[in-house]
Amino acid sequence: MNTLTIWWDGAADGPTNMAADECLAAEAERRGSLVLRFYGWSDTTISLGGFQKIGDARQVEAIRGVPLVRRPSGGGAIVHGSDLTYAAAVPKSHPWGASPQVFYDALHGAMVEVLAELGIRAWPHPAGGSTPVSSPKRAPAVTVDRPLHDEAQFFCFDRRASGDLVMAGPAEGTSSKIMGSAQRRLASVVLQHGSLLLRRNTTVGNPACHPAVADLVVGLEVPDEAVLSLAWGRRIARGLGAMLREEDGPFLRGMESEVAAQASRFREEWWTARR
Amino acid sequence: MAADLKFAKTHEWVRPESGGVVTVGISSYAVEALTDLVFMQLPAVGRKVKAGESFGEIESVKAVSDLYAPISGEIVEVNSALPGKLETLGKDPYGEGWVARIKPDNPAEMDGLLDRTSYDALVGSQPH
């Protein structure tokens, strides 16, 4: 039977988290099945998409002085620290590994169902959709599937791609993006990173601070990360027809030296400032 | 698609040219699977690569994919116009959409690549 294995890791710095995720990709390849890791951040950290320019990051006053790490995956910059961060990896030979959209849609669709059970209505941004975003100051009123890579779309949560999860925005007729994911497609395995904005991150100012689920629901308590991630894992496993296997300890346990060696790359300037 | 192409399992194609070099590109299957390409990084001319080694990157909407050298050798030329007009990869992946030219260390490595029939069978068996 298919198996979905899940690990819960504590908080770590950006380079350690990125290195652990690369090791997670190797683990998916070794096991030949989907694996999923949830983790925290020891400090508020900006993760930069694999192709984003370091010069763009350094021009954003609101994130000056905040630790920055470059992801191996694509997409826009994310402010971590008040979000639910995950990494999932699946072999390309797996039904969810063949094309980028299938994996996005499978994981995001499961989250829509979990949120619905909690009374929170979210939906995937449609292909070619153009719902006005919640803050006209934050991004252009017309959203597009293709990232513009201009200043207005430096942050992941200012971009819209098909399958991103959105909720009704504070103003009538608007929507706010609450979940986005991005992939690194390696020779035989796919690593997908993603973030669900649970609470507004008040350690950064605009334009880095985005409305979160807690800002957009009225009269509902946003569940903690552990409850949400377990419910999500169960939904994903159900969608896959897989057995859910929760590991007792963190993914990092027993892999400290391997992860530390891998993390050195993510600490180095040549990697962080490579574009 | 020309019959003289060979393919790597990682979806790069190779075509022998006169003068002992090979042209390398990305298969139409891979280009279609990625959709909406936005950025590309080419290898540096003069770089030595090993077969199976990542020698470039391409970003589609929110996915970064590695390009793998299908054969060992030296990069002798790159299609430097390609990153500026990525739509060429979709329109003409086996012609104007070529990525790089490699001078192989060992041309016999070509024998280990897939012919068109085998490659078509491989992509036909990929999950959808």
Test mutation, A47, A105, A186, chain B, max B CBs within 10 A: A186
Query: What's the mean pLDDT in A150-161?
Result: 84
A218 to chain B nearest CA, in Å?
31
Q: Is A146 on the interface with B (CB under 8 A)?
A: yes
Query: What's the mean pLDDT in A159-172?
Result: 92
pLDDT-derived band at A130, boundaries 50, 70, 90 = low
User: What are the structural domain ranges in chain B?
Assistant: 6-124
Q: Is A95 on the interface with B (CB under 8 A)?
A: yes
Q: Is A148 on the interface with B (CB under 8 A)?
A: no
**Tens-place pLDDT, residues A197-254:** 999 999 998 899 999 999 999 888 888 888 999 999 999 999 999 999 999 889 988 8
Q: Which residue has the higher pLDDT, A148 or A154?
A: A154
Q: What is the mean pLDDT of chain B?
A: 93
Q: Is A187 on the interface with B (CB under 8 A)?
A: yes
Query: What's the mean pLDDT in A159-186?
Result: 93
| Residue of chain A nearest B125, judged by CA positions | A93
Overall fold of domain B6-124: OB fold (Dihydrolipoamide Acetyltransferase, E2P) (2.40.50)
Residues of chain A with C-beta less than 8 angstroms from the C-beta of B38: 51, 146-147, 149
Q: Is A180 on the interface with B (CB under 8 A)?
A: yes
DSSP string, chain A: --EEEEEEEEEE-HHHHHHHHHHHHHHHHHHTS-EEEEEEESS-EEEE-TT--HHHHHT-GGGTTS-EEE-SS-S-BEEESSEEEEEEEEETTSTTTSSHHHHHHHHHHHHHHHHHHTT--EEEPPTT--PPBS-TTTS-SS--SS---SGGG-BGGG---TT-EEEE-SSTT-EEEEEEEEEEE-SSEEEEEEEEE-S--TTS-TTT----HHHH-SS-PPPPHHHHHHHHHHHHHHHHT-EEEE-SS-TTTT-HHHHHHHHHHHHSHHHHT--
A 125-144 residues with CB < 8 A to B: none
Query: What's the mean pLDDT in B110-121?
Result: 94
CB contact under 8 A, B64 and A73: yes
CB contact under 8 A, A184 and B64: yes
pLDDT in the model for residue B121: 92
pLDDT in the model for residue A190: 97
CB contact under 8 A, A147 and B34: no
Residue B1 has pLDDT above 80, yes or no: no
Q: Which residue has the higher pLDDT, A172 or A66?
A: A66
Residue B117 has pLDDT above 90, yes or no: yes
Residues of chain A with C-beta less than 8 angstroms from the C-beta of B62: 49, 73-75, 100, 104, 147, 161, 180-183
Of the CA atoms within 13 Å of residue B119, those in its CB half-sphere come to 23
Test mutation, B7, B31, B61, chain A, max A CBs within 10 A: B61
pLDDT in the model for residue A133: 57
Could you tell me how many CB contacts below 8 A there are between chain A and chain B? 78
B95 to chain A nearest CA, in Å?
24
The rounded radius of gyration (Å) of the Cα atoms in chain B is: 14
| Residue of chain A nearest B11, judged by CA positions | A187
Residue A153 has pLDDT above 90, yes or no: no
Does residue B116 sit in helix, strand or coil?
A: helix
Query: What's the mean pLDDT in A30-38?
Result: 95
CB contact under 8 A, A161 and B57: no
Respond yes or no: is residue A156 known to be catalytic. yes
Q: Which domains does chain A have, with CATH numbers?
A: 3-123+177-272 (3.30.930.10)
Q: B38 and A149 in contact (C-beta within 8 Å)? A: yes
Query: What's the mean pLDDT in B111-126?
Result: 90
Residue A68 has pLDDT above 50, yes or no: yes
pLDDT in the model for residue A221: 85
Query: What's the mean pLDDT in A179-201?
Result: 95
Rounded to whole angstroms, how far apart are CA atoms A51 and B86?
15
Q: What is the mean pLDDT of chain A?
A: 89
